[in-house]
Amino acid sequence: SYVLTQPPSMSVAPGQTARITCGGNNIGTKSVHWYQHNPGQAPVLVVYDDSDRPSGIPERFSGSKSENTATLTITRVEAGDEADYYCHVRDSSSEHVVFGGGTKLTVL
Amino acid sequence: QVQLVQSGDEVKKPGASVKVSCTASGYTFTSYYVHWVRQAPGQGLEWMGIINPLFGRSTYAQRFRGRLTVTKDTSTETVYMELSSLRSGDTALYYCARSLGDSSAFDVWGQGTLVSVSS
């Protein structure tokens, strides 16, 4: 089955840039979506189709992708950005949705 | 406004079944797929399955096949998730979410339903 690999955690100081990676075999051929999740609340879509941003999501959030890695970049990090972040793709061979394991972002 | 509203929290005993509803409003029900995703305590998001509300076709993650049934009632614009043979490991927060296509992002989520399994 298809696997997405994220670092379990990362820390960044306020005002700095956080880059959260999502590795997967040939992920460059898939549409990658990113969610911000605070436990106990519904996840929020922050980037869709690799690099597009839903309305209401700050420009500080952006997405990019290479052959085997997708990256969510958060610039000028704020305390309110502290959350878990998940990447998501659909594996066309199995017709299943796959989530990465999630990355806990801590703002120092 | 566009929203998905889920039924209330449930407490079940091992071996029982649970049925959680997800009622859509503010958009054309048959135009969006509905997925079920869960998060167990201390764990990440886990995709369970998907239904196409137009045709009623469902697809399930391998680990839930035989225990999971996702259905829809177009007249009430509601999708149901039924999980049987519950065990303690099924204790989780269960979410429904919609997507425009089967590989599209989940742009609207339900508020979540806590299912607790305990003897």
**H or E segment and range at residue A69:** strand A69-74
Residue A95 is predicted with a pLDDT of 87
* B107: nearest CB among A37, A45, A100: A45
* A42: nearest CB among B47, B103, B111: B111
Sign of the Cα pseudo-torsion (B100, B105, B108, B111, in order):
positive
Contacts of B109 in chain A (CB under 8 A): 42-44
For the beta carbon of residue A70, count every other beta carbon within 10 angstroms: 29
Contact map slice: B 72-111 vs A, CB within 8 A? 93, 95, 97, 102-107, 109-111
CA distance B108 to B105: 9
Sign of the Cα pseudo-torsion (B60, B63, B69, B74, in order):
negative
Separation of CA A108 from chain center: 19
CA distance B6 to B22: 4
Site from A50, A84, A97, A105 to mutate, B interface, most B CB atoms within 10 angstroms: A97
What value, to the nearest 5°, has the Cα angle with vertex B54 and ends B5 and B60?
75
CA distance A95 to B5: 26
CA distance A16 to A76: 5
| Amino acid letter, A70 | A
Separation of CA B51 from chain center: 9
What value, to the nearest 5°, has the Cα angle with vertex A95 and ends A93 and A52?
100
Q: Give the CB-side neighbour count of residue A104, counting CA atoms within 13 A.
A: 8
Q: What is the DSSP letter of B59?
A: E
For the beta carbon of residue A28, count every other beta carbon within 10 angstroms: 14
pLDDT classification of A71: cutoffs 50, 70, 90: very high
Q: Give the CB-side neighbour count of residue B3, counting CA atoms within 13 A.
A: 5
Residue A39 has pLDDT above 90, yes or no: no
For B21-75, write each residue's pLDDT tens digit: 999 999 999 999 999 999 999 999 999 999 999 999 999 999 998 999 999 999 9
For B60-118, write each residue's pLDDT tens digit: 999 998 999 999 999 999 999 999 999 999 999 999 999 998 889 999 999 999 999 99
